[in-house]
Chain A
Amino acid sequence: MPTYKAPLDHYRFLINEVFDVAQLARLPGMEDFGPDVISSVLEEAARLAEHEIQPLNLPGDAEGCRYENGTVTTPKGFKQAYDRLCGGGWTGLTAETRYGGQGLPHVAGTAFEEMMSSANMAFGMFPGLSQGAYRAILNHGTDDQKDLYLPMLASGVWSGTMCLTESQCGTDLGLIRTKAIPAEDGSFRITGSKIFISAGEHDLTENIIHLVLAKLPDAPSGVKGISLFVVPKFMPVPNGNAWKAGTRNGVRCGSIEHKMGIKASPTCVINFDEATGWLVGEPHKGMRAMFTMMNAARLGVAMQGLGAAEVAYQNALTYANDRLQGRALKGPAAPAKPADPIIVHPDVRRTLLTIKAFTEGARALSVWVGMQLDIMHANPDPHAKQEAEDLLALMTPVLKAYFTDAGFESANMAMQVYGGHGYIHEWGMEQFVRDARITQIYEGANGIQALDLVGRKLPQNTGRLLRRFFHPVQQFCESNAADPTLAEFVVPVAKALGKLQYATVTVAQKGMANPDEAGAASSDYLRLFALVAMGYMWARMAKGATEKRPQAGERAPFSPARLRTARFFMARVLPEAEMRFRQVMAGGKSMMDMPADEFAA
């Protein structure tokens, strides 16, 4: 059975030594959430994840969800664990206090998402999707809709879904066929069939609130003709100060998919048959509303990638210390034993360190970006708000695609450490690989994230978003380049940043003349971008690990392991930036010249 320990030390290091998380507590409304409170919250979250959620992961995968007559049964123990989550207030961790949430900073929320994903990715999807529904209604719903749905979603008594995909459209939502016909009372009758709807039907909550993309009768064609609706499984009826589930709406689950991973998360066909729904936001502006939901959800999916890598790493590390096989190349390391533990072998070390360099760097990046969410929400200064929003918009596709690609690669590498045993179910490693794979696909396939970065985020406001990233990196490099202990980290990052800036100009120029050039460069460009961001994080962590601060408690901030991992990152991971740079610069001609029929030649 695989095990899991939440990376609390790493979070404490990031919160106390690398980032000024204390600044969040100076924002209005956030006074109660200093780093110490965030630490205590994460500690309790870790206990829940380790003792209640993680033990359900492997059996949940074996059992899966069951479909019968329109109802879905989740694996044993899921309901109890879910109730415990609700009882502790965890489903409303970052939800607004006026809607019954706990109002904690998003930094704590993203950390919690990592822990949930490591412990049990399929389980974590239930509260995760409710979050998405919560955000969409919060940002675009009417006051009545907010008062009705938000407290029920924050408390976890009801759950949410996002219903976008149909059989003929996933990426290109302009092709949606689901119809919404206005009724006399101001509501709408929704009819159509959605597929692949996560948590579309289950037995954890008394009601399920679907957020559905559909077209009004007068809708223009394409994405400009899509509207967003809220469609509850049961009609809400008042119940004292709250609401309860009333009569059944015309929403039914037709079947669930048999699939590669996250088997404990039901992926449903949801049929709407003249179901009653209400418009959220303005007519035909559904895509905009959906994007609010998707931006938060994309960060959540990024954390799933990181979470899978982390838990796979922890187990691979234990195994590498236990498994005796072969001898160290320079002579036995454990002569008393029949063979050396495989962690002596350079190739096993390369594998482990590649994962470690990813998880720690990515975690730092998630804290940095998570803080932008908090600044955006709570900072009264419009300039600071805008800056945070820009950086967030820029980094979201980078984190989504890079964390999930590298997360899957990491889980796969961790499985390799187990040799043949990694391929066997009971060790749990193959499940991490299977579960992680979907993160590269849903919430916008990673190729689409790359297009979002190159096509939308780069040109936005004549490159203003980009400057929000380039400036702090440049500034950090300049002000620390003279520090002899930091030079070994700062110099390679500064060089990679130079390459990224050069590539950016090239992509922008070539893409303007020929959009295929931008598309051809996009995935490699995104990876190059991510590697520079990771380098920046590792340089900052190296700084945090070498500076002794007077206010540090008994936990010495000095950490040789972090410096060594930072060195590995610079020596063995960052060089990939060179390759990506050359791929970007090579342009798209070699792929666009090929006629479609020659692909089969």
Chain B
Amino acid sequence: MKILVPVKRVIDYNVRIRVKPDHSGVETANVKMSMNPFDEIAVEEAVRLKEKGKATEVVAVSIGPAQAQDTLRTAMAIGADRALQILADGDIEPLAVAKILKAVAGREAPQMVILGKQAIDDDSAQTGQMLAALLGWPQATFASTVEITEDRVLVTREVDGGHQTLELTLPAVVTTDLRLNEPRYASLPNIMKAKKKPLESLPVAEFGVDTSPRLTLVKVEEPSVRQAGKRVQSVAELVDKLRNEAKVI
């Protein structure tokens, strides 16, 4: 069984995000970039399935600028067998990503696509769902366990109020949640091997997908700073403030 794992290059989760002065987006120049943490979990899960003998090949794919090669090498250092880079500049919205991935799935014919439930840069949480719809495959989102049996996959999902277990027929799309696994540290031999694993680069034009944005970004702003709390002397004062200052009652 072949598993396709789409990975995205995003601002490192440790970086303090700064909004550009003209509010057109967030500052990315000179900022550390890493693999989207949910995608790292997806790669780890795919590699574990391979190590358990459930999968035969893990292919990582990334749509983005040339530097996304680093992200793909990271995926291969964790254990992906090869990588596919689709060169595209600028913002590619989830629908376009899903369409490109559909075309990739057509080429690669995987039995399963495992991807992060969302990317931590724009938090859309749409790509996996759209991809499943476009492919006409079953989907299980926010997975906390993934188990493969014969031609099916059992996925436990974290939902409000507990866990839900779904059984899907393969091929299927699975998106990962935080508790699915803890990604490993890449070992030195694997970092070195990753440099020699095959990485194919293709221009996005080859996939015939219209990647022009359908949304217009109006303005990006920093979250407003939380006001310091105030201590009130009496219940009457509290009620007064809630009514006249906060205007919530």
Interface residues in chain A, defined as those with a beta carbon under 8 Å from any beta carbon in chain B: 5, 8-9, 32, 36-37, 40-41, 44, 47-48, 52, 84, 87-90, 92-93, 102, 104, 553-556
Contacts and interface: CB of A to CB of B under 8 A. Distances in A.
A553 B67 contact: yes
Contact of B188 (A5, A8, A9, A104): A104
14 contacts: A8-B32, A32-B195, A37-B195, A40-B74, A40-B77, A40-B195, A41-B188, A44-B77, A88-B185, A90-B188, A104-B188, A554-B29, A556-B29, A556-B30
B13 to A, nearest CB: 12
Contacts of A555: 30
Interface string B35-77: 0000000000000000000000000000001010010011001
Contact of B191 (A44, A84, A554): A44
B192 interface: yes
A44 B192 contact: no
A5 B192 CA distance: 24
Nearest to B70: A40
Contacts of B192: 32, 37, 102
Q: Which of B29, B70, B188, B195 has the most CB of A within 10 A?
A: B188
B229 to A, nearest CB: 15
B185 A40 contact: no
A587 B70 CA distance: 57
Given A44-B77, A89-B189, 12 more contacts: A5-B14, A40-B73, A40-B77, A40-B194, A44-B191, A52-B185, A88-B188, A89-B188, A90-B188, A92-B188, A93-B188, A555-B30
Contacts of B212: none
Contacts of A556: 29-30
B9 to A, nearest CB: 11
B189 A102 contact: yes
B149 interface: no
Contacts of A52: 185
A526 to B, nearest CB: 36
A504 B170 CA distance: 77
B1 interface: no
Contacts of B194: 40
A92 B70 CA distance: 24
B186 interface: yes
Contacts of B188: 41, 44, 88-90, 92-93, 102, 104
A90 B186 CA distance: 11
A47 B185 contact: yes
A48 B183 CA distance: 12
B77 to A, nearest CB: 7
Nearest to A52: B185
B187 interface: yes
B14 A48 contact: no
Contacts of A9: 32
A37 B185 contact: no
A32 B32 CA distance: 25
Contact of A88 (B65, B73, B74, B187): B187
B186 A44 contact: yes
Nearest to B186: A44
Contact of A87 (B14, B77, B187): B187
Contacts of B189: 89, 102
A58 B140 CA distance: 43
B67 A554 contact: yes
Contacts of B77: 40, 44
Interface string B144-168: 0000000000000000000000000
A93 B65 CA distance: 32
Nearest to A37: B195
A8 B33 CA distance: 12
